[in-house]
A = this chain, B = another copy of it.
Amino acid sequence: MGMTLDEILPDLRRQSVDVRHAETGLWAASMLREHISAGQLAPGAKLSEEPLCEVLGVSRNTLREAFATLAQEHIVTRIPNRGVFVTRPTADDIREIYRVRRFLEPAALTWSTDAKTDTLHAAIARARAARTAGSVPGMASANQDFHAGVVALTKSDRLGAQMTQVLAEMRLVFYSMVADPLFHAPYIDDNADILSTFESGERAEAATLMVDYLRRAETQLLAAHARG
């Protein structure tokens, strides 16, 4: 973590100057969001204003607009007069994340009017492929796609956005601790079970399975988090 921002973020600078006379703040926010989600900016890392302005090629005021956006998404934590840091999730954060998921995902399975499960099947297939290939990031990504897809069944932009946000925080949880590389592996079949139960029309049962799955995952993550 002793690397400078220039070393970590080589290609962050805005290429063309005329990217449009509006939304530079949102552009900067999405840039940072991307790099944080990809793990290039680890939890706890300090985002100093001046170096970041330099790297991004925006002014301090614009950068602060970006910080305001990311802080509201809980991706970044602002400590007054101290600075902005990539959020390092606490045990309470993990509990809150799963609290949200235990309402959102079962609700989607229970009351969604949509039942197009193509993307869900695709996500599971991708997860299985990643498992046989031994790709941990692949499994993690496919797993997130599955659960994002479940909430997408609601057809609600806002619930989808909230889920996206929560899943981004999940990535921070994984980055902030040494998680078991095989964490996702056993859950792939759980997802498949949930999906087939849902497709058979037993929605209440699918929701129950989902709650159960989420409880187990939470417990396991909290244990790993406690270990360090």
A196-222 interface code vs B (CB 8 A; 1 in, 0 out): 000000001000000100000000000
* Copy count, this protein chain: 2
A121 at the interface (CB under 8 A from B): no
Chain B nearest Cβ from A110, distance in angstroms: 8
Among A7-15, A100-108, A174-182, the one that faces the other chain is A100-108
B156 & A211 in contact (Cβ 8 Å cutoff): no
Report the contact-size class of chain A (Cβ under 8 Å from the partner). Answer: 20 to 34
A42 at the interface (CB under 8 A from B): no
B68 & A25 in contact (Cβ 8 Å cutoff): yes
With A99-B154, A102-B111 given, name 14 new contacts (CB 8 A): A22-B81, A61-B64, A68-B68, A96-B158, A100-B158, A100-B159, A103-B107, A103-B154, A103-B159, A106-B107, A107-B107, A158-B162, A158-B166, A204-B204
Give residues in A with beta carbon < 8 Å to B. Answer: 21-23, 25, 61, 64-65, 68-69, 72, 80-81, 96, 99-100, 102-104, 106-108, 110-111, 154-159, 162, 166, 204, 211
